[in-house]
Structure formats: C-alpha cells, structure tokens
Amino acid sequence: MECDVDGCDNQAFKGNNECALHCTKNNYQVDRNSGLLSNFNRLLKGFVSKEIIDGASATEVPHIMLFLKFIDGKLSHEEMQEESFSLYKNQKDEEMTDIDEIISNQIFNFSGFHFPTRDSRDSYDYLKWLKHVGGIHFINCFFYLRTLDLENTRIFFDSCTFEEEFSFSPMSLVENFYNSIFSHCNFLKNFEIAPITDRLENNIYNYSVLYNCNYLGNVTLRNSVFNEEVFYREKDSDDNYSIEISNLEVIDCIFENRFKINYSKMTNLKISNSHFKSKFEIKNSEVDSFEFENSNVDGIFDAYKSFFVKAKFYKSIFKDFAAFEYVIFGDEKKENITDFIYTTFKDFSNFRNTKFKSGLNFSSANIKQEPNFLNTDINLVGTDRETLRIIKNSFEKVNNKIESNRFFIYEMMRYKREVNNDSKESIYFLKLFIAAVFSCNEYVLNIIGASQVFKNVMSAFSKKIVLSANYYISRFGESYIQPLMIFLFSIGLYTYILEVHKDIFSEEPVAQYVVLLRNFVTQDWFISLSKFLNTCAANVPLFSKALEKKSGIEFISIMFFIWFGILTWQIIIAVKRNTQH
C-alpha cells in the first residue's frame, strides 16, 4: 500500500497509512525496535539522492554519485573528496568542480516529514550525513528530537511543529522573505536558545529567530547576542494576544536591535544580566510576574497599557525615556507590591495614569529627572513614606501644588501610622522594663534605663499627639470644612460655659445641674486652684487685655483662645492647600 500523502510514492510503513517519512513517530525504543528509524533513514537518503541527481549537470553527476556512496556509508568523507579530486584530471580547468561546493549550493525542501528522535551511535543516524548538505528548507515538518545539530548547514523552519522540548544554537540561515529561521512554527513544549560555548562571540544571531510562532511551554534565551529582533508577531486584533508564552526567561543576553514583545500574555517574564542596546517594547501585554534584574536598557522602555500582577525592577538602568503610562500594577494583594529597588532612571520617566493596586516601593530608586506621576492611583497601605515623599517632590518641582498637597497628606498619614507603631513598641518596652525592675537589684542601671525609657515614650507620644491633632482637625490640610465646623462648635461651647459661669454665681433660680456645679466649685480646694490658674492666665502679656472682662474664668478663656488660634491656622492652611494651582 502506498503512502496516503499526496505526491509520495513510498510504501506505507507497517501498521500505518503513511510511509516512514510522513508517519507519526513514537519514542526512540519503539521506533528502533519496529525498524522505523532505519526505514526513515533509507527513504530520506533516497529522497535527497533523487533531488541531487535531478538538479545536477552532466559534469556534476560523477561527483554526485560519490556523495551518494558517502551517505550510504560506502565511502568516508575523506575518500569521497579524494576520488572526486581524481575526477578533475579528466575535466577541463573551467569545468573543474569541487564536490563540497556542489552539495553546499543545493537547498533541499523537506515537506511534511516527521523527524524521529535519534542516537549518534546508530549506523542509520540520519544526522551523520545530513549535516553535510548545503541547506534545508523544512516545510510543515514535525520534530520529535530535542536538538538538531546542523551547525554547518543553512536552515529554515517554515510552519513546523516541535513535539518535544527543543534546544537551538546558532545556525546559518536559508535566505527567506521573513529573514527568520523559525517562521509560523508551533512549540508544544519548552524552547531554548542555548549557547554553543560560554563565549558570546560564538553565539551571535544575525537574523530574526522567531516569526509569528506559537508557544505552549517555556521559552529561554541564554548567553547569546541578537543583532535582529528575536520575536516578531503580527497582531490579530485589539482583543487577541499575539504572543502567548507560559514563561519567558532571558539570561546573559545582548540585544543590538529592538526587543519587542507587544500584545503578549505570559505567566512569568524574567530578565537578568542582559543588555538592551535599542528600544524595549512590552505594550498592551499581560504578565503575572515580571522580574527585571541587573539589566540595562539604552533605548526607550515602553510598557504602555500593560498589566503586571507582580513587578520587580532590581539593580537596573534605564538610560533613555521610560514609559509606564496607563500601566496597571498589582491586584490589591500586599505581597504583589511593585518594587523599583536600586533602579536608575537617567532620563525622564512617565508614570502618568498608572495604577499601583498593591502599592509602590520607589524609595531606593535613583532618578536624574523628576518622574511624572500625574493622575497616578496608588494603594497607600503598601506604599512607604519615602516613596510618597518622592512623588510629592516631583509635583513640587513642576509647581503642581494641588497634587503636591495631596501626596503631602498621604505622606503625613503614613508618618502618623509609623508613629503609632513606635508608640506601641515603646509601651511594650516599658512593660518589659517594669518587669525587669522588680526582679533586679541593679538600681543604678535601672535608674539610667528608666530615664531612657521615659525619653523614648514621651518622644513617641508627643509626635503622636501632634500628628493625631492635625489629622483629626483637617486631615493634614485636606479639608477646611472640618476645622470650620469644629471652630463654630467651639464658639458655641465657649459661649455656653460663660453662661453657666454667670448662673453659678447668680442669685436667681437655676437648673439642678447648675446647683451641683455651684456646690463643687465653692469648695476651698477648688477656689484655691482656680485663683492660682486664673492669676497665671491673667499674667500672660498677649492675652491680658482680652481677659479683663473674663474675671473668674481667665484660665478657661485662655485655653479657648489658644484653641481658636489653632483652628484658625488650620482653616487658613487647608484653604491655601485647596486653592493653590
């Protein structure tokens, strides 16, 4: 029975509808024991032999026959060359032909072949002779092997499928329209660009590697130099991702041309110890985890309208414009905070209309120009105070007072939270110290320790009182309505106290609670205390004139005068913050 594939005259391999070239392959042991591997090698030789002879001239045929003996194992490569050279004696000088040159000029088209896994120890290993051909154009082929060592053969993979993990090293390219070695290929498992040696100069790619390819597994680029774009993918539509990769890892690579992975969807993207000498584009993409470590970008970095659940930039340098406009970072989970750790921006960086849903850590970033954080939405829970200060300063530098005031408020709220935590720690330390005092007889050390504890506790609580007062009165200047309402309420309360004070010393009938107050304030100790406090208040030069008509209530009045001054200042500051541009 002939092979079912159109145009193939080979006999179908036992138990299959296709020949050994076109049938689906199994694992090595199964194919070896069934004789499929030896049959595949025999038919591939026959196909190559026919292609060579059909395209050979009359003077080339004797040399071609020597090559066919070589691939059949009847001659070694050296014997083939020696016999080919002896044929030159019977040819004119202008007709002299080198056997290797004849073979290297031929491009073989392998269409629909299924290449099985192999072992170099086998006599029927097809790579032993295939690596001597000039060039191969693989069309709609299937590969079950993990690597293809054809270093000296020009290659082009066109619409091929790789069934197993595949590792690729630099090879010569068959010229094609796409200038790419893989075009419209499918990688069903992992794909790795692996170096031949550890020396970068031996791992250079002067062509695009992957053109319109699909990936179901992981892709790794390692220790290589790329002079052209690595990935090229035509975008289907605004709703579809054109590059879908489970995990992409870039390690110790240099990219001379732009690196573009726009409209991509990945689970993990990790870039480390790499250098991008041109533009880096990752626009309109979705990445669950993006790590960019110890790597440099010389050109523009553009992540426009992308979404990163977890992003970390560490010890990296952006020499040109870095654009993060309309990017969404995080998912409101604290562990997915966006980190820029020891990251240097040597040019302008743009975070306009960006959302940091899990917070932002920008405190250790190095910036040469102030970044643009206009309309940035940041989760304050996961953002440290230094980051908020940097953002505030960026608005101050461009005289954007409204946004500057907004982030000043955020900064103070964060500072208040820090002080609250310090207060709790001080109280905890105080408890430990008290416990130590009652179990220790080292009195001198206890006295020294007590003074230190008191100093720390008072410092923490004084900061807490000031910050809490500013927060609850006007939210650090955010609202002027709030202090205004407190001011009006305080005036009413002060007026009410004055009226009650009159009623206490009035001879007219009064309410029962006034009678109780009268009994309380006419006690000897209270009279002595109030006289002392009122005298002290009356001696304050700034308020002495205003207190002349407040006899008997000077101390309470001066407290309210101070309170009114604080509220007035809070109102002025809040109005100023909300009206500046």
User: pLDDT tens digits, residue range 334-389?
Assistant: 899 999 999 999 999 999 999 999 999 999 999 999 999 999 999 988 898 899 99
Q: Are residues 421 and 505 in the same domain?
A: no
Q: Are residues 261 and 281 in the same domain?
A: yes
Helix H, strand E, coil C: the string for 276-316 is ECCCEECCCCEEEEEEEECCEECCCEECCCCEEEEEEEECC
pLDDT in tens, 416-446: 777 666 555 555 455 555 555 555 545 444 5
The answer to whether residue 170 sits within a structural domain is no
pLDDT in tens, 224-252: 999 999 998 776 545 566 778 899 999 99
The answer to whether residue 409 sits within a structural domain is no
Q: Are residues 364 and 454 in the same domain?
A: no
pLDDT of residue 105: 77
The answer to whether residue 252 sits within a structural domain is yes
The answer to whether residue 473 sits within a structural domain is no
d(CA 21, CA 142): 10
Q: Give percent of the chain with pLDDT exceeding 70.
A: 76
The helix (run of H) or strand (run of E) holding residue 409 is: helix 401-437
The answer to whether residue 533 sits within a structural domain is yes
Q: What is the mean pLDDT of residues 79-88?
A: 70
Whether the predicted pLDDT of 458 surpasses 80 = no
pLDDT of residue 366: 94
Q: Are residues 348 and 485 in the same domain?
A: no
Comparing 73-82, 230-239, 333-342, 458-467, the range with the smallest average pLDDT is 458-467
pLDDT of residue 296: 97
Which of 185 and 569 is assigned the larger pLDDT?
185
Contact 202, 225 (CB under 8 A): no
pTM for this one?
0.75
Q: Are residues 439 and 505 in the same domain?
A: no
Tokens of 164: 């197993």
Q: Are residues 126 and 11 in the same domain?
A: yes
Last residue of a domain, one of 355, 374, 400: 400
The helix (run of H) or strand (run of E) holding residue 143 is: strand 142-143
d(CA 394, CA 386): 12
Beta bridge partners of 310: 289
Q: Are residues 451 and 568 in the same domain?
A: no
The answer to whether residue 110 sits within a structural domain is yes
Q: What is the mean pLDDT of residues 117-143?
A: 90
d(CA 263, CA 273): 24
Q: Give percent of the chain with pLDDT exceeding 90.
A: 41
pLDDT band of residue 46 (cuts 50, 70, 90) is confident
Q: What is the mean pLDDT of residues 148-174?
A: 92
Q: Residue 571: which domain range?
A: 480-579
Cα R_g (the chain), whole angstroms = 41
Give the residue from 59, 145, 63 showing the smallest Cα distance to 104: 63
The sign of the torsion formed by the CA atoms of 443, 445, 448, 449 equals negative
- Mean of per-residue pLDDT scores for the chain: 82
Q: Are residues 439 and 489 in the same domain?
A: no
pLDDT of residue 444: 43
DSSP string across 214-282: EESSEEEEES-EESS-SEE-----TTS-SEEEEEEEEES-EESS-EE-TTEEEEEEEEES-EE-S-EE-
pLDDT of residue 306: 96
Q: Are residues 187 and 256 in the same domain?
A: yes
pLDDT in tens, 184-230: 999 999 999 988 777 777 789 999 999 989 888 899 999 999 999 99
Eight-state DSSP code of residue 162: E
Q: Which residues have a Cβ under 8 Å from the Cβ of 581 and sit 6 or more positions away? A: 400, 401, 402
pLDDT of residue 441: 47
Q: Are residues 236 and 365 in the same domain?
A: yes
pLDDT of residue 514: 65
pLDDT band of residue 50 (cuts 50, 70, 90) is confident
d(CA 410, CA 404): 10
Q: Are residues 428 and 387 in the same domain?
A: no
pLDDT band of residue 545 (cuts 50, 70, 90) is low
Whether the predicted pLDDT of 82 surpasses 90 = no
pLDDT band of residue 23 (cuts 50, 70, 90) is very high
Q: What is the mean pLDDT of residues 25-48?
A: 91
pLDDT of residue 339: 96
Whether the predicted pLDDT of 147 surpasses 50 = yes
Whether the predicted pLDDT of 530 surpasses 50 = yes
Number of structural domains in the chain: 4
The answer to whether residue 387 sits within a structural domain is yes
The answer to whether residue 474 sits within a structural domain is no
Q: Are residues 515 and 455 in the same domain?
A: no
